[in-house]
Amino acid sequence: MATSIDPLVLGRVIGDVVDMFIPTATMSVYFGPKHITNGCPIKPSTAVNPPRVNISGNSNELYTLVMTDPDAPSPSEPNMREWVHWIVVDIPGGTNPSQGKEIVPYMDPRPPMGIHRYIFVLFRQNSPVGMMVQPPTSRANFSTRMFAGYLHLGLPVATVYFNAQKEPASRRH
């Protein structure tokens, strides 16, 4: 392989959920001791609680974080693409989502079938959002692009994703 393919393109994150963008902020996501890199496998049991997210930037900027699953209910038949797990708005730069306003409460990954991608998308806000946004009526059939358009967020500034699959209930073999 001569050139390195962007792992987001390789994992089809760019295309399925977001459009091609230039990352301008950095975001590091930790589930307990585990640092999330693109495409790393995470067990659902370690993702029960919301992760620790560190967002770069200065504190007068506000950010929005969205966590979605485009492979609901199964990657080969994503009828409910996307399933939104977490939306936090008005996060001041340089802090973590606990300082922001949680529109959609965190739901842990429960992939019923297949290997799902769980994507964290970070947007930079132009203005405080506050009361303007309504939480979506259902978590299914969410569209990150439309949500960003609705809040005039533009292209994302950072994205990371991980893979998870259902842990087998009992090891048969």
Partner 1 sequence: MAIPMATATPTDSASRVWSMSSLRSALPSATTCRMPSSTSRRPVTIRLPVSSPSPLLLPSFSGLSPVNPLISTGLPDWKSFENGFKIIDGGGRVYAMRHGRRVPKLNRPPDQRKALLRGLTTQLLKHGRIKTTRARASAMRKFVDKMITLAKDGSLHKRRQALGYIYEKQIVHALFAEVPDRYGERNGGYTRIIRTLPRRGDNAPMAYIELV
Shortest approach of partner 1 to residue 1 CB, angstroms? 15
Query: Of the two residues 80 and 155, which places its CB atom closer to partner 1 in the complex?
Result: 80
In the block, tokens 């949500």 appear at 147
- Cβ-based nearer residue to partner 1, 134 or 172: 172
Q: With binding defined as CB under 8 A, does residue 1 bind partner 1? A: no
Alpha-carbon gap, residue 35 to 28, rounded angstroms: 7
> Does 166 interact with partner 1 (rule: CB under 8 A)?
yes
d(C-alpha 80, C-alpha 64), whole Å: 23
Strand order in the sheet with 40-41: 40-41, 158-165, 115-125, 62-69, 83-92, 101-104
Contact flags string 107-146 toward partner 1, x per CB under 8 A: -----xxxx-------------------------------
State the minimum distance, in angstroms, from the CB of residue 11 to partner 1: 10
* Residue 115 in tokens: 């290997």
Nearer CB in complex with partner 1: 71/82: 71
d(CA 84, CA 156): 16
CA-closest candidate to residue 91, choices 68, 120, 48: 120
All residues at 6 or more sequence positions from 128 whose CB lies less than 8 Å from its CB, including other chains: 62, 90
Q: Output the smallest distance, CB 139 to partner 1, in A.
A: 21
Closest distance between partner 1 and the C-beta of residue 74, in Å?
Answer: 6
Does residue 46 touch partner 1 according to CB under 8 A?
no
Q: How far is the CB of 78 from partner 1 (least distance, A)?
A: 12
CB 74 within 8 A of CB 115: no
Q: Which of residues 59-78 bind partner 1 (CB under 8 A)?
A: 74-76
Q: Which residues make up the interface to partner 1 (CB under 8 A)?
A: 74-76, 112-115, 165-166, 168, 172-173
